[in-house]
Structure 1
Amino acid sequence: MNYPVWQLDWAGGGLLIAVIAVIHVYVAHFAVGGGLFLVLLERKALAAKSTALMEYARKNARFFLLLTMVLGGMTGVGIWFTIALLNPAATSVLIHTFVFGWAVEWVFFLGEIVALFLYYYTFGRLSPGRHLILGWIYFICAWMSLFVINGIIDFMLTPGDWLVDRSFWSGFFNPTFWPALFFRTFLAFMIAGLFGFVTAVFIKEEQARHTMVRFSGKWLLAPFVLLMLSAWWYKAALPGELQELIFADMPELTFFIQTFFVLSPVLVVGGLVMAVWRPDKVRFALAALLLLIGFVYMGCFEFIREGGRRPYIIRDYMYSTSILKEDQEAVRQQGVLAAGRWVKNRTVDQDNRMAAGREIYNLLCLSCHSIGGPLNDILPIAERFSPSGMNAVLASMGKANSYMPPFAGNAAEREILADYLTLGLVHRLPAVKPLVALEDVAPFAHEPESRYLLSAWALDGMSFTSNPEESGIDFSPALPIIRAQLIGRAEAPELLRDGVTVTYRLRLADREVTGDMQPREGAFVAELAELANVEQPYHLVTVAAHLHGEQVARTRLMVAQSAEVDCNHCHGAAKAAEQQGLSRATAANILERHDRRSNTELVARFDQGDTIVCAECHADSSRNMAGRDEVLNLSASLHGFHAAYMADQGAAACAFCHPTAAQGASQSLRGIHHSLGLDCLNCHGSISDHGAALLKAEQAAGKARASELLAMIDNTTLPVESIVARQPWLNMPDCLACHEDFQPPETDSAFNRWTTEKEEIFHNRLADEGSLYCGACHNEAHVLYPAVNPYGAHLDIQQPMQYQGDSLPLGANRQCKTCHTIDMEYEMHHANSLADLRNDPGE
């Protein structure tokens, strides 16, 4: 933020520092362990009075001096140069905090240099005792240098009480100082043994070569148990949240952790081969291979340690963006373009939008990501997302993506960066509106003298499918259900059931479907299983009623079953213009992310042709699938997890998965509430509200994952403790929360006031007389009359137009003769039913 940015692009993402640092650290540890190796080797040669071993010791000292002083010194300077350019703010903190420590370390380093040069150049010139003293001085100086550097390095991972008291000693002797010191010491001894193998194979005298191979093997084997014990101690010394982050929440580190533990027995076996089994068979290729394995072993440890600091460069103090934790909120409010010292585009318009996006990338992303490089390449990440999807991911940083720092910019800068990454950097094609082939259809002719009225409606106007046969993943709720009631018109109308049969008919793209509706709970019901895999969102269904075999009434209703599930915004595989359904490529990415986060193996099953049914594990009461007791139900899991990504996106968050977007193909919100400007939030709350309510019920059931997800949720309308827990498909928004006693509403929010019984849900609620469903007159909850379908004026008002010639609920505005053959003077169905409709579109 306060320094110029070093543009690395391909070499970014930590590549440069990783290469330089791992080489330097490997050589630096050899400089420690190798110092003791040299001293004990010389003692061994003196004890054995072996000229060959002493000559090997002298040559090994020369190799040691060149490697540690030249390569080690160059890479050491390289580290300082690199970190000063990549993260000057953190480098400044380390210098100013530990200036005394650095001075001490440089004194010891100077002692290393002098002692090692004297040790090598006085071979054969000093008495053995004095020469060994030089060797011991070198080793002590090298180990003390490690002692000091270890405190500073581990301070960045576990600063401990320094965060409170800013004391040099609190930062230096931090919680992981001692276990890290022992771990690095034993690792240094093992590395000395690995280098010993490489140099030993060049000894010409066979006996001396075998002796040194065995000697080097002991250096590999003897410290190993102590190394593993110190590694366990190191892990135990980490704070609990840090352990969870490294070993559970960061799948990016899984490879390095697994490789570290796999290579541990490899090094032991190599040592046994060298030292015990067949030292005479050891060749340079095997010794060099073990040395390379040791290098990878060290690299894995350093990657784990460095990764454990995320999202910080100095844990709990400075983020990897170089922004202090205590300054994060102030920067967010001001905006990074305004707060940054070296910024060109402080104001943004269409002409400089992409340039400003690049500057935001440089300030907030460049420290960890490369562009096209081998480490942390941003390109394949950005290719998966649409601009809105990337915006959601940026919003989740610090919450769902806890290893990334919270986005430090404001909402406008987040959108600018999302556009730059997805449109400017990878040029993802913008989303297209799927094609819908649908024409308006006039209702059946009105027959005012008919003795019968048939009302039919769908239970849910928001039904959607993940198209499991095509996509291979099934998280669809219950299939569309239609319900019908046949009314015998009279002064006192009668609900007819005896001798009545009801059928339905609809046309799909390739065939016509017919079926019988079954009598159930005072009505006739059918589940439209034929709509499980469709790409057209609307289907006009004809329903006919027969009394004793004779057709007495017919009507039409619109059933919406959309495949417009836009997971591709975040999970890749942009859809073609003619496609609505979820693609297999998108489904594969969803399952891959699930496997990484939850340690499942769903991708393997998917690749074998299995359809992954989410409700097999995550209970879905809409489909009567029990799932697994210890796992969150499907609604809580989906809404609770994604709330961290979409907390501030309002109703647009719902449209990522539900077919509600005004620019989408389905536009499933078509009723009077939508016409009046209400949206999902008025009934269900924001996705944060919605997710919190669902998670609280799961938390009460003792599911630990619910508490984890709740901790990520912010931006709720009410304090989380005030949100009433709810079960999906049972505790629904209650219409009477706004329309108390069926009166005009005094509020426009039903959130947090749920139904408590199945019978109170709108599509199950009966009128006061106890037989007629609310939906028979009003249609279903999301398409309440008067409804407006974007594809045709009559499509969603077939029955009001058929029976009344208008778009109003059946019987509205005192049109009681729709069912009754006389005008009514008292309110039979519910209070206020004889009042005029306040929002009559015909007025």
Structure 2
Amino acid sequence: MDLIGLYPTWYEPGIGSGWVVGLIATVHVLFSHTSVGAALFFMALATIAYRQNRPELLDFIKKYGLFLLVFSYVLGSITGPGIWYSTTVASPRGISALIHSFVWKWATEWVFFVIEVVGVYMVTYLVGKVDQKTHLRLTIILGLASYTTMMIILGILSFMMWPGKEAWFAEGGYLKGFYGSNTFAQLAMRTAFMFAITAVVGSIITAGFKDQAFRAQMNRWLAIMGIVATVIGASLFGWYLDTLPETAHLVMENRLPAWFSTSLYAVLGGMLAYFAFMLLTPRMITTAVAGVATVAMLVFGLWPEEVARESIRKPYVAGQYVYSNQVIARDVPGMGIKSEIPVLEAHGWLKTDVFMPVELREVTPHNAARVGEALAITMCSNCHSLSETGIRPLKNYLGGNTDVGAIKTYLQAALTTGNTLYMPKMPMKDEEAEALAVYLATLTDKTVASRYAAEKGAVAQAVSTKE
């Protein structure tokens, strides 16, 4: 018997594994984008400071750098491994796909990250302690190393949406997988918004300066940078959309809420309004005001954007060949990878999933709901919550239907055949579809499982008596 090498599924019943990963990743994006944008901003400020003899700009770099050491590098260094841990248990095969495709890219990124971390310490603590030329060189090295880490990560993130070149599937090779139109579109758009984020967080730093004239000047500079970055980032959004695969557009058209586009414009408008406030009334920007703006940007800007980006990648988690539930969905000859769909079609899930409990490998009237729950955890829980909270609860897709036969028919007509807009093809044997239908019905009516067992038992008794 062929077996599929699925890992045990991490099932978080409260909000779902997807939201756990999303929450950590969203906070990390704020930290990482701020650190990269600030490093590049430091390059410009240091150049101006040394050419025009403006020591107050070096003081700003020092204070912003000290803030980054806690805000971005300490907290970022916590959420960074948090992403690795949560994504590894939530999507082990997705992470494996990235590592096997880009192991040397990851290694290169870590080298530049070490340079970045050492660099921010040196740039911050060596202000006024080394000669100007040395300090400027250190600042430039910090900026370039920081941006290099972003460029590498963006190529890998783009591969998670789909490989850079179609030829990668047949030929392999990290260059074909890494570089594509989405890589450059996403890099350009994120670079723009990175400077906008840096400007918002930077206003927290300016609020701490007592020199009102310098504080006003820095707020104006940050505001101008933020306005230009926001406008450019918004103008690049269309290019980014054009580089997305067809499945991503289907998800956007059918699954994102109707208010999503409006909310994006509202967030962009709110950012521009805040930058206009900084530009016109720079002395009104206090630590509290800047802090609220930063949190608002995180909650209303970064969180919806990250959730939408993760949603439109579905049903895949990496490279358009690993489903979100870890099943290998297509052959990738260039990597020596075989699709597991034929194995599932031939033998089903219960017989081929290595970690399926032994007592659930055969469906009976009395364990049908338990088997169905095990199948739902394995097949569905990475994208759907099995409770009433969390992301895309399965219960909401049934319309209150508790008819096991009707639900089974739907599962066989849709999931088993792949006859859906964007949901993956999930082959199931007849008894597996029925067990899953029993469990899904219990999400609305807990008595379904006992009634189902009683009905099946009565049928079996009737047949036995007749015989």
Which residue in 2 is equivalent to 1:247?
Answer: 252
Which residue in 1 is equivalent to 2:186?
Answer: 180
Which residue in 1 is equivalent to 2:454?
Answer: none
Which residue in 1 is equivalent to 2:433?
Answer: 414
Mapped partners of 2:45, 2:251: distance in 1:
39
- Deviation track 1:473-509 (CA, whole Å, cap 9, x = no partner) reads xxxxxxxxxxxxxxxxxxxxxxxxxxxxxxxxxxxxx
| Structure 1 counterpart of 2:116, one-letter code | E
**What pairs with 1:175-254 in structure 2 (closer than 5 Å)?**
175-239=181-245, 241-242=246-247, 244-250=249-255, 252-254=256-258
Instruction: Give the one of 366, 378, 384 matched to 1:363.
Output: 378
Displacement of 1:283 in angstroms is 2.9
Instruction: Give the one of 335, 341, 347 matched to 2:362.
Output: 347
Note closer, same or farther for the CA distance 1:169–1:119 as it changes in structure 2 (3 Å cut): same
Displacement of 1:314 in angstroms is 2.2
| Structure 1 counterpart of 2:400, one-letter code | R
Displacement of 1:53 in angstroms is 4.0
User: Is the counterpart of residue 82 in structure 1 residue 86 in structure 2?
Assistant: yes
CA contact under 8 A between 1:383 and 1:428: conserved in structure 2?
A: no
Aligned Cα root-mean-square deviation (Å): 2.2
- Deviation track 1:567-599 (CA, whole Å, cap 9, x = no partner) reads xxxxxxxxxxxxxxxxxxxxxxxxxxxxxxxxx
Displacement of 1:187 in angstroms is 1.3
Displacement of 1:411 in angstroms is 2.5
| Structure 1 counterpart of 2:6, one-letter code | N
Secondary structure of residue in 2 paired with 1:356: helix
Displacement of 1:219 in angstroms is 1.8
- Deviation track 1:707-755 (CA, whole Å, cap 9, x = no partner) reads xxxxxxxxxxxxxxxxxxxxxxxxxxxxxxxxxxxxxxxxxxxxxxxxx
**What pairs with 1:104-183 in structure 2 (closer than 5 Å)?**
104-159=108-163, 160-161=165-166, 162-183=168-189
CA contact under 8 A between 1:52 and 1:205: conserved in structure 2?
A: no
Mapped partners of 1:350, 1:243: distance in 2:
40
Which residue in 2 is equivalent to 1:65?
Answer: 69
CA contact under 8 A between 2:249 and 2:312: conserved in structure 1?
A: no
Which residue in 2 is equivalent to 1:702?
Answer: none
| Structure 2 counterpart of 1:175, one-letter code | S
Mapped partners of 1:63, 1:109: distance in 2:
18
Instruction: Give the one of 433, 445, 455 matched to 1:427.
Output: 445
Displacement of 1:202 in angstroms is 1.9
Which residue in 2 is equivalent to 1:300?
Answer: 304
| Structure 1 counterpart of 2:215, one-letter code | R
Mapped partners of 1:184, 1:426: distance in 2:
42
Which residue in 1 is equivalent to 2:333?
Answer: none
User: Is the counterpart of residue 269 in structure 1 residue 273 in structure 2?
Assistant: yes
Instruction: Give the one of 369, 373, 376 matched to 2:392.
Output: 376
User: Is the counterpart of residue 17 in structure 1 residue 36 in structure 2?
Assistant: no
Secondary structure of residue in 2 paired with 1:362: helix
**What pairs with 1:458-469 in structure 2 (closer than 5 Å)?**
none
Query: Number of paired residues?
Result: 427
Mapped partners of 1:141, 1:57: distance in 2:
17
Work out which of the two has the higher radius of gyration on C-alpha atoms and give 1 or 2: 1
Which residue in 2 is equivalent to 1:27?
Answer: 31
Between Structure 1 and Structure 2, the one with more strand by share is: 1
Displacement of 1:189 in angstroms is 1.1
Which residue in 1 is equivalent to 2:335?
Answer: none
Deviates most, 150-159 or 323-332: 323-332
CA contact under 8 A between 2:6 and 2:327: conserved in structure 1?
A: no
Mapped partners of 2:87, 2:350: distance in 1:
24
Mapped partners of 1:308, 1:315: distance in 2:
13
Mapped partners of 2:432, 2:79: distance in 1:
38
**What pairs with 1:702-741 in structure 2 (closer than 5 Å)?**
none
Identity %, equivalent residues: 26
Secondary structure of residue in 1 paired with 2:317: strand
Instruction: Give the one of 290, 293, 298 matched to 1:290.
Output: 293
Mapped partners of 1:189, 1:7: distance in 2:
37
Which residue in 2 is equivalent to 1:405?
Answer: 424
| Structure 2 counterpart of 1:353, one-letter code | A
Mapped partners of 1:380, 1:289: distance in 2:
34
Which residue in 1 is equivalent to 2:464?
Answer: none
CA contact under 8 A between 2:10 and 2:89: conserved in structure 1?
A: yes
Which residue in 1 is equivalent to 2:405?
Answer: 388
Mapped partners of 2:222, 2:75: distance in 1:
22
Mapped partners of 1:256, 1:27: distance in 2:
24
CA contact under 8 A between 2:220 and 2:282: conserved in structure 1?
A: yes
Displacement of 1:44 in angstroms is 4.1
Instruction: Give the one of 330, 334, 349 matched to 2:347.
Output: 334
CA contact under 8 A between 2:37 and 2:194: conserved in structure 1?
A: yes
Asked which structure has the greater RCO (Cα within 8 Å, sep 6+), the reply is 2
Note closer, same or farther for the CA distance 1:153–1:231 as it changes in structure 2 (3 Å cut): same
- Deviation track 1:55-79 (CA, whole Å, cap 9, x = no partner) reads 3321111111222211111111011
**What pairs with 1:517-528 in structure 2 (closer than 5 Å)?**
none
Structure 2 portions without partners, runs of 5+: 330-338, 450-467
Deviates most, 285-294 or 394-403: 394-403
| Structure 1 counterpart of 2:183, one-letter code | F
| Structure 1 counterpart of 2:151, one-letter code | F
Mapped partners of 1:313, 1:363: distance in 2:
15
Mapped partners of 2:267, 2:243: distance in 1:
23
Displacement of 1:399 in angstroms is 5.2
CA contact under 8 A between 1:13 and 1:373: conserved in structure 2?
A: no
Which residue in 1 is equivalent to 2:60?
Answer: 56
**What pairs with 1:803-814 in structure 2 (closer than 5 Å)?**
none
Which residue in 1 is equivalent to 2:313?
Answer: 309
| Structure 1 counterpart of 2:250, one-letter code | L
Mapped partners of 1:194, 1:401: distance in 2:
42
Structure 1 portions without partners, runs of 5+: 432-843
Mapped partners of 1:393, 1:290: distance in 2:
47
- Deviation track 1:593-637 (CA, whole Å, cap 9, x = no partner) reads xxxxxxxxxxxxxxxxxxxxxxxxxxxxxxxxxxxxxxxxxxxxx
- Deviation track 1:339-378 (CA, whole Å, cap 9, x = no partner) reads 1010111112123222211211111011112224332233
Mapped partners of 1:175, 1:322: distance in 2:
26
TM-score, normalization: structure 1?
A: 0.48
Mapped partners of 1:270, 1:89: distance in 2:
42
Displacement of 1:382 in angstroms is 5.1
- Deviation track 1:683-704 (CA, whole Å, cap 9, x = no partner) reads xxxxxxxxxxxxxxxxxxxxxx
Between Structure 1 and Structure 2, the one with more helix by share is: 2
CA contact under 8 A between 2:438 and 2:448: conserved in structure 1?
A: no
CA contact under 8 A between 2:363 and 2:431: conserved in structure 1?
A: no
